[in-house]
A and B are shown apart, each in its own frame.
Chain A
């Protein structure tokens, strides 16, 4: 049965959209065909997707996994230095906010302060290109942008360049920071300026998620790097969750 288009009312259109197959028209059949059962070819990349899922999403969720932060081992000092290096990497990814809070950070191979400055400058100078290169895709990204902008007040340490800049830096940042950690860390940690206040993470969910990101950044870092900026806010949150700075292991 064909329904001439001139007879298609809005009400009829809604019925068609709700139940194309039940409409009994050629148009309904065409729409039903478009929504037909999955074809084998459409699932050809399932195994590949599952492999990526295993690699990317198997990091235990924050709620049930204090084990994300490994418990202590004897080499506490080395671990602390590694975490400091991590916070510097996080600082790079987030526009240098944490690095600015640690003036006595020595020049570390692979983590030069100049690189951080350049990253911060470029993010600040050229917000347009940062935004263009950022992957402002998900509702979550928008949330992190909002959080970043909100955190640029006097309360946060250093020159937070806010979410968009940080996220843009994160996209191209790993090269500058000399780290091979995956973009996931920077994406997740880009929200950290908004919550890395001196107070420990409370019951809200976003600090936990940020902590998760910091922890992932930590795990992906070259732990042999040196550093001693122990008062980084990003680190403080991580150490708090671990039950003390000396309980964070590399």
Chain B
């Protein structure tokens, strides 16, 4: 991909874009996430000759770019979008779907993302980076500008909050 091979790019894009999009949707909301992600890709293409590293390095790099773009976006919008659905509705969606099965549908995925997005931003980000994007605490810390310990603490608090939300609505 770094040599300009479109097929290689598409392979990378299909692997990297969906998780990136979900992460950004937690930050800026679903409706804006696509635009922010497009901006991030465009900037990554532009600065591609500055990038050195492997596939994981690229994921971290473009996630950092996407996060900065999202924060720029939020600074202009001056607010973090919130899902209009209530937590109860989201948990209902989770319960209705076959979350234990192999096929996890879009609705389930959306509801789970909306639940994570209902957390305070630092907790939501930490959980998204650890689970959806699959970064370890050290890499997530680099992306967030925090220590790995701070990332672990934020994700721990977030998980407890999530567990509460789900427990409260059996």
Contacts and interface: CB of A to CB of B under 8 A. Distances in A.
Chain B interface mostly helix, strand, loop or mixed?
Answer: helix
Interface in B26-83: 34, 37-38, 41-43, 45-52, 61, 64-65, 68-69, 72
A48 B38 contact: yes
Nearest to A57: B45
A204 B30 CA distance: 42
Given A30-B112, A49-B41, A5 B167 contact: yes
Interface in B133-170: 134, 152, 155-156, 159-164, 166-167, 170
Interface in A189-212: 205, 209, 212
Interface stretch (A9-17, A229-237, A239-247): A9-17
Interface residues of A, number: 59
Contact of B49 (A3, A32, A61): A61
Nearest to B68: A137
B19 interface: yes
B127 A53 contact: no
Contacts of B113: 34
B100 interface: yes
Given A3-B163, A209-B50, A45 B38 contact: yes
Given A2-B170, A43-B17, A17 B159 contact: yes
Contacts of A35: 19, 22, 131-132, 134
B160 A33 contact: no
Most buried by B among A10, A17, A46: A17
A154 interface: no
A182 B43 CA distance: 12
A188 interface: yes
A233 B51 CA distance: 25
A137 B65 contact: yes
A151 B167 CA distance: 58
B18 interface: yes
Contacts of B50: 138, 140, 143, 188, 209
A39 B65 CA distance: 23
Contacts of B49: 59, 61-62, 188, 209, 212
B109 A36 contact: yes
A61 B2 contact: yes
A50 B6 contact: yes
Nearest to B113: A34
Interface of B: 2-4, 6, 9-10, 13-14, 17-19, 21-22, 34, 37-38, 41-43, 45-52, 61, 64-65, 68-69, 72, 94, 97, 99-100, 104, 106, 108-109, 111-113, 115-116, 127-128, 130-132, 134, 152, 155-156, 159-164, 166-167, 170
- Nearest first, the 9 A-B pairs at minimum CB distance are A5-B163, A38-B18, A137-B68, A34-B112, A56-B45, A140-B50, A36-B104, A29-B99, A33-B112
Given A52-B42, A135-B72, A139-B64, 18 more contacts: A17-B127, A17-B159, A31-B116, A31-B162, A33-B99, A33-B111, A34-B132, A35-B22, A35-B134, A36-B108, A42-B18, A42-B21, A50-B6, A50-B9, A59-B4, A59-B49, A138-B64, A182-B46
